[in-house]
Every structure is written in C-alpha cells, then in structure tokens.
Amino acid sequence: MVFVNTKKTADKVADDLKYANFPATVIHSDFSQQRRDKTMAEFRKESSNCRILVSVNVVGRGIDVEEMDYVSFKK
C-alpha cells in the first residue's frame, strides 16, 4: 500500500507502477463509493492480481488489511 498527498500524485504513481509492470491500482475520492468498495474488496482478496494499492492519505485512514507486507508514504 502506498500513501501519497494528492489525487494527482496517486494517479501518477499508480500509472508509473503499471507502466513498469507492477500490479497497481488507485483509490481516491474522485471515485464513487461503490467503486472504492469494489477496489478495496479486490485488493483484500489473496487471489487478486491487484497487489499494490495507491491511496491519498485521507482515504487511507481506517483501512485495515490483514497480511499486508509493506506500507509506504510518498511525499
């Protein structure tokens, strides 16, 4: 999980990771609650192809994901 300060940065980091062939997705407040819920559900599944979640710090508050190996904060 990667936390950043802005939605623009979240989009860029996720795009850069995907371009480098890392299985990343992004979540932030521009997305509907339904889409955010679906993204989080997919991220939590062990069988998911989505292994890196990029989020704005505020959206990430209260997120609890078992078996998470790394959390990163990018300024």
The full set of domains in the chain, from first to last, is 2-65 (3.40.50.300)
The 10s digit of each residue's pLDDT in 31-42 is 898 998 898 888
Strand 24-27 versus strand 52-56 pairing type: parallel
Residue type, 32: S
Q: Alpha-carbon dihedral of residues 34, 62, 4, 22, nearest 10 degrees?
A: -60
The 10s digit of each residue's pLDDT in 27-74 is 988 989 899 889 888 888 877 777 888 988 755 555 665 665 555 556
- Given a contact cutoff of 8 angstroms between Cβ atoms, the answer to whether 61 and 28 are in contact is no
State pTM to two decimals. Answer: 0.74
